[in-house]
Structure 1
């Protein structure tokens, strides 16, 4: 991956624009070349929304470098193992390259 872990944003229950602003804040730092959006389960939809808002409305210089899909095995409240889908979207700002 090559990115510093501080350049990762974990998508959760906050509003989409909160995450858009977080990505913009990271890209305002000239040393940040890429930002990684990470989500699992129902938050995957929001991660894609964040990427699309950034790419199409806010920072048109942002491009998707890579998308990784996966599955994590977690235990639910009863101890049963469940599969949870994951996504990792690596964004780059072509303006800073």
Structure 2
């Protein structure tokens, strides 16, 4: 990903491993990067699975930097529908250090 471009992984209908590989690729190319994992509706569970699996198997120093939940209006064949949406920003803590936890409801 080029300099200045935001690192975003949009979670959809593909298998979890596809999104895991996307997340791993970003961190391998730029360990200091922050990645926003975005999902809405039924894909929210998959987003959490992706982050948990990457942390458990590949980057034990992965941490959630911020979390945002809201509703997005989406046009469907049934008209406008409000779907729950999440945006989870993850980053890698430097090796040997622990990220500073933030109180619930605060983002940096």
Which of the five TM-score ranges fits, normalised by the shorter chain? Answer: 0.7 to 0.9
User: Which blocks of at least 5 consecutive residues in structure 1 are unaligned?
Assistant: none
Alignment match, 2:82 = 83
Stretches of structure 2 that go unaligned for 5 or more consecutive residues are: 98-108
Which one has a larger percent helix, Structure 1 or Structure 2? 1
CA RMSD of aligned residues (A): 2.0
Do the aligned partners of 1:26 and 1:32 also contact (CA within 8 Å) in 2? no
The alignment of Structure 1 onto Structure 2 pairs a total of residues equal to: 93
**1:30 Cα shift?**
2.8
TM-score by length of 2: 0.77
Distance 2:51 2:68 in 1: 14
- State the shift of 1:57 in Å: 2.1
Report the TM-score when normalising by structure 1. 0.85
